[in-house]
């Protein structure tokens, strides 16, 4: 068994040596071609990333675009099918649309609400409470668990009937309305809400910490000036805190959208009755059914969705992200 380690270790060291070799040759080559010392060193130093970019980004992106236009299935060499995969995905693939709906609904709910909750937590922590460090640790704790452990834990907490802690604790509330408690991940109608609740648990981690740092960076004299003018808590929050924090919010929104649409780990650790997230569907197409051409096409559809959404947020940012000058609403 240690042989596996040894083999990987040898190849790892060989690749490392090869990269260093390429760096050295790049430097020598550039110097021989009459490039000055500084640019030659600079180029040589970024070689590890540049090689990686060619091998792990540029080539795969081009290859996956090509594969998306073929019927590649691992066993046979790819046959060109033109846009057929895309036509099938967008035209008649019910499972694609169902996964897309779940994924988009999930992002549309969790990204903005998650930001709002994290902002609430950060604002509270910023009120000069005692033991900020301790509170911050408590709020960050759920975020140190890997997503899939969180998923397992919430799958347990959200078990149906009285088995799950959530349902046994809230049963009186449901029976008050004459309802039986939801069956969460076992009922296609409530799967989304199971995932949403799960996501809120981890949301306080990174986002709260980043927003708290953002809040600390707001100049104190802005608040002091507003207090002199007699501004209350809410006006201060609305006219100072929010505008000053918009660069942070913008960053977190973009990152949140990109991550939200790509949710994956959760989906593979929770059994759901019908459709799962888009990436889980893609994974099944590619690695369970080996429809690799088809899966590549789904990946490109996802890339386009992410690009469009990011572009929209970037475009809108001129209207609401405050860097200097007045806030436009």
Partner 1 sequence: MSAPSIPVEAERRELRPAPQPLRRSLTKVPVYVLLGIGAIFALVPFVWMVSTALKTPGQLFKFPPEWIPNPVAWGNFGEAWTALPFGAMVLNSVFVTTLAMVGELGSAAVVAYGFARFQFRFRSVLFLLMLSTMMLPWVVTLIPGFLIWKQAGLINTFDPLTVGSLFAWGPFYVFLLRQFFLGVSRDIEEAAIVDGANAMQVLWYVMLPLVRPVLLAVAVLSFQGNWNNFKGALIYIQEPLERFTLPLGLQFFQASISNEAPRWHLMMSMSLLMVIPVVILFFLAQRQFIEGIQLGGVKG
Which residues, numbered 143-202, are part of the site for partner 1 (CB under 8 A)?
A: 144-149, 152-154, 156-157, 159, 162-163, 165, 168-169, 201
Residue 176 vs 326, nearer CB to partner 1: 176
Residue 179 vs 326, nearer CB to partner 1: 179
Instruction: Choose which of 16, 25, 116, 327 interacts with partner 1 (CB under 8 A).
Output: 16
Neighbour-count burial of 166, counting CB atoms closer than 10 A to its CB (0-12 exposed, 13-18 middle, 19+ buried) = middle
Instruction: Choose which of 119, 211, 272, 321 interacts with partner 1 (CB under 8 A).
Output: 211
CA 58 → CA 53, 61, 146, distances in Å? Answer: 6, 5, 29
- Which residue from 184, 183, 201 is spatially nearest to 193, judged by alpha carbons? 184
C-alpha–C-alpha distance, residues 72 and 294, integer Å: 8
Count interface residues toward partner 1 (CB under 8 A): 109
Tell me how crowded residue 184 is: count the other CB atoms within 10 A of its CB: 24
Helix then strand then coil, % of the chain, to nearest 5:
75, 0, 25
CB of 327 to partner 1, least distance (A): 20
Is 184 within 8 Å of 164 (Cβ atoms)? yes
Which residues between 83 and 112 bind partner 1 (CB under 8 A)?
none
∠ CA 287-288-291, nearest 5°, is: 65
Helix residue spans in 46-163 (DSSP H): 47-52, 59-67, 84-92, 94-125, 132-144, 147-157
Instruction: Choose which of 21, 25, 56, 323 interacts with partner 1 (CB under 8 A).
Output: 56
For the chain, the distance separating the N- and C-terminal CA atoms, rounded to the nearest angstrom, is: 63
314 binds partner 1 (CB under 8 A): no
Residue 55 vs 225, nearer CB to partner 1: 55
Which of the ranges 61-69, 188-196, 223-231, 235-243 carries the binding residues for partner 1, by CB under 8 A?
Answer: 61-69
CB of 54 to partner 1, least distance (A): 9
7 binds partner 1 (CB under 8 A): yes
Which of the ranges 92-100, 187-195, 260-268, 320-328 carries the binding residues for partner 1, by CB under 8 A?
Answer: 260-268
C-alpha–C-alpha distance, residues 60 and 221, integer Å: 51
CB of 133 to partner 1, least distance (A): 6
CB of 198 to partner 1, least distance (A): 10
69 binds partner 1 (CB under 8 A): no
């Amino acid at each position: 068994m240690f042989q596996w380690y040894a083999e990987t270790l040898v190849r790892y060291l060989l690749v490392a040596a090869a990269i260093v070799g390429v760096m050295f040759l790049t430097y020598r080559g550039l110097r021989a071609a009459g490039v000055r010392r500084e640019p030659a060193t600079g180029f040589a130093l970024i070689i590890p990333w540049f090689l990686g970019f060619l091998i792990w980004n540029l080539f795969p992106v081009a290859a996956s675009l090509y594969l998306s236009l073929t019927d590649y299935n691992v066993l046979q060499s790819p046959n060109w099918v033109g846009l057929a995969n895309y036509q099938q995905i967008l035209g008649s693939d019910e499972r694609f649309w169902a996964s897309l709906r779940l994924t988009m609904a999930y992002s549309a709910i969790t990204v903005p609400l998650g930001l709002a909750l994290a902002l609430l937590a950060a604002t509270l922590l910023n009120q000069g409470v005692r033991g900020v460090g301790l509170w911050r640790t408590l709020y960050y704790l759920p975020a140190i668990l890997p997503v899939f452990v969180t998923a397992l834990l919430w799958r347990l907490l959200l078990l149906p009937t009285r088995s799950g802690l959530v349902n046994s604790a809230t049963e009186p509330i449901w029976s008050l309305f004459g309802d039986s408690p939801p069956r969460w991940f076992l009922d296609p109608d409530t799967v989304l809400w199971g995932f949403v609740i799960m996501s809120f648990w981890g949301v306080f981690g990174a986002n709260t910490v980043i927003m708290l740092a953002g809040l600390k960076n707001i100049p104190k004299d802005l608040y002091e000036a507003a207090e002199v003018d007699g501004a209350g808590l809410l006006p201060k929050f609305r006219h100072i805190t929010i505008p000053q924090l918009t660069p942070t919010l913008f960053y977190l929104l973009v990152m949140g959208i990109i991550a939200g649409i790509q949710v994956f780990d959760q989906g593979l650790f929770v059994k759901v009755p019908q459709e799962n997230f888009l990436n889980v569907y893609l994974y099944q197409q590619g690695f369970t059914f080996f429809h690799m051409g088809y899966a590549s096409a789904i990946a490109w559809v996802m890339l386009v969705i992410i690009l469009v959404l990011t572009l929209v947020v970037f475009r809108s940012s001129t209207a609401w992200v405050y860097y200097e000058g007045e806030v436009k609403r």
